[in-house]
Chains A and B, each alone.
Chain A
Amino acid sequence: MSNLTNQKIFTLLKVQYSNMLEYRVEIALWAISGIIPFFMLNIWTNNNLNESINISDVMLSRYFLCAFFVRQFSVVWVVFSFEEDSLMGKVSPYLIQPLNPFLRYFAQHVAEQITRFPFALIIAFIFFILNPETIWIPNLSILFLSIISTFLSFLIQFLIQSIVACLCFWTEKASSIERLLFIPTLFLSGLLAPIVSFPESVKSWIYFTPFPYLIDFPANLLSGNHTNITGGLSMQILWIVLLFPIFKKIWSAGTKKYTAMGS
């Protein structure tokens, strides 16, 4: 039984990886489009804005570099794929297969991350050449933990988007809901400004939302900035545990509601 699952996962990954390799230029471009954190870093250090939040230039540079990395490996677009597939009627053949279609999308995302890895490394390399003082080597356990927390962040976003994607069963354009959800993700996740810099009134409630755990927490962890490791990881797991049953419920409700083209 477990052998079969392993085989399924392996095949899915292999297929999607070769699929992704065809689109190398596109993935490279996508990697480049994620450089907004570096522009933000430029504003922060160029205007000495970081003095007031007690983070040195070097630490802030590392933070934004890590934020870039975390973002690179937690980008999710499942809702757009699913919307297209469901509008085109491609979901029907997927539903017949003894495999949840979302596993297919999941493999697609993981394969894309593997393809993206070298490009992200190149960008980091260029960053280090331009800012040699920021080079640091995180110790192995921290590296390991931050990879896990990046993956957990990816899982949270994947689950949220999958829930939104399931709304396609009821409304045709679920992607506009995703675009709406993307706004708080963009501004509150720490991609543009570290959460430490947020005003107290926001900081008091933000840690109860999933947003800080998407980018701020893994980036702080990896860059060696101050953060609560156990607290962060447990909040990430808590959100996954909360979101997963919602996804299962909405998925089973949606598939019951689903009527194929022409029926």
Chain B
Amino acid sequence: MNLIRYLKVYTKFLHTSLASELEYKTNILIDLITAILSLLGSIFLLYIFFQNNESIGGWEFKQALIIQGIYTILNGITNTWFNPNLTEIVKHIREGTLDFVLLKPIDSQFFISLKKITPSGFLEIILGFCLLLYCIKINQIKIHLSFLTLSLITIICSICILYSLWFFISTTTIWFVKTWNATEVLRSFLYIGRFPLNSFSFSLRIFFSVFIPIAFITTIPSEVFLGISQTWKILLEVIVAMVFLFTSRKFWLFALKFYSSASS
């Protein structure tokens, strides 16, 4: 019952934001070129790294491409859903329009996280999938049911962690108000998700798996792809994802207690 209502609301969201985004048609073309160039640039960078080296952190070039593919998909998801919505929170809080969100008879986190959509991010998701398919071919990965379910589970967990990170940072604006750039910091940290975790030094590896679990986001799904992932890592990722989702939800509810609308 509730679920159906939320689905209905979501289709309305989709409809309105797609309608407004499609106003800028040339923009979508430019975004497509940007996405392609960006992927080419990352592959170029990887190529430089592998120019005189067989492997980096135990990953060969064709294996590292899988990480690139997964990163591209996740980046596409970020650009389609997280970025347009969660940067909006800052605006809501600054201009006091969060009041209107809170007054609606619908969950505020749902509204804030899914209101908008930027369709050009889809292109990145498609590009990422194409790269992954290519990787499956060159790495001679055999596709079977358990492989598919495991990779799906890990990617979904990655999406959850990513979402929680974005949502967490955006929520802090309730206290700090002027943190447009906080998301930029997160963006630059996420950048390292393009590379295998093992290619970093020990201290950075710890930092990126304990404090900001970027390592989980791309490296573990890629390992699953290659069939070299241990079960405990997958389990750990599922647990981390659940903990992150749960805390981000609690943090939002906690933060709302401190929200005083524009004139109070």
- Residues of chain A having any CB pair with chain B under 8 Å: 23, 25-27, 29-30, 32-36, 39, 42-43, 45-47, 49, 51-52, 171-173, 176-177, 179-180, 183-184, 186-187, 192-193, 197-199
Whether A172 and B24, one on each chain, are in contact in the complex, defined by CB atoms closer than 8 angstroms, is: yes
- State the majority secondary structure of interface residues on B: helix
- Cα A33 to Cα B187 in complex, Å, equals 8
Whether B204 and A39, one on each chain, are in contact in the complex, defined by CB atoms closer than 8 angstroms, is: yes
- Cα A42 to Cα B205 in complex, Å, equals 11
Whether A29 and B185, one on each chain, are in contact in the complex, defined by CB atoms closer than 8 angstroms, is: yes
A193 CB contacts on chain B under 8 angstroms:
45, 48-49
Interface membership of chain B positions 89-106, coded 1 if the CB is closer than 8 angstroms to chain A and 0 otherwise: 000000000000000000
10 smallest CB-CB distances across A and B, nearest first, come from A52-B52, A187-B41, A29-B181, A33-B184, A183-B37, A33-B188, A33-B185, A180-B34, A176-B30, A30-B181
Q: How far is the CB of B130 from chain A (nearest CB, A)?
A: 18
Partner of A25, one of B52, B176, B201: B176
Whether A52 and B51, one on each chain, are in contact in the complex, defined by CB atoms closer than 8 angstroms, is: yes
A51 CB contacts on chain B under 8 angstroms:
52
B264 is an interface residue with CB less than 8 A from chain A? no
Whether A173 and B24, one on each chain, are in contact in the complex, defined by CB atoms closer than 8 angstroms, is: yes
B191 is an interface residue with CB less than 8 A from chain A? yes
A39 CB contacts on chain B under 8 angstroms:
191-192, 200, 204
B24 CB contacts on chain A under 8 angstroms:
172-173, 176
Whether B188 and A35, one on each chain, are in contact in the complex, defined by CB atoms closer than 8 angstroms, is: yes
Whether B51 and A42, one on each chain, are in contact in the complex, defined by CB atoms closer than 8 angstroms, is: no
Least CB separation from A46: chain B residue: B201
Whether B188 and A36, one on each chain, are in contact in the complex, defined by CB atoms closer than 8 angstroms, is: yes
Whether B181 and A183, one on each chain, are in contact in the complex, defined by CB atoms closer than 8 angstroms, is: no
| A-contacting residues, B189-204, CB 8 Å | 191-192, 195, 199-201, 204
B181 CB contacts on chain A under 8 angstroms:
26-27, 29-30, 33
Q: How far is the CB of B190 from chain A (nearest CB, A)?
A: 10
Known: A33-B188, A39-B192, A42-B200. A180 touches B27 (CB 8 A): no
Known: A29-B182, A32-B185, A33-B184. A199 touches B41 (CB 8 A): no
- Listed residue (B26, B34, B42, B204) with the most chain A CB atoms within 10 angstroms of its CB: B34
B180 is an interface residue with CB less than 8 A from chain A? yes
Interface membership of chain B positions 144-179, coded 1 if the CB is closer than 8 angstroms to chain A and 0 otherwise: 000000000000000000000000000000001011
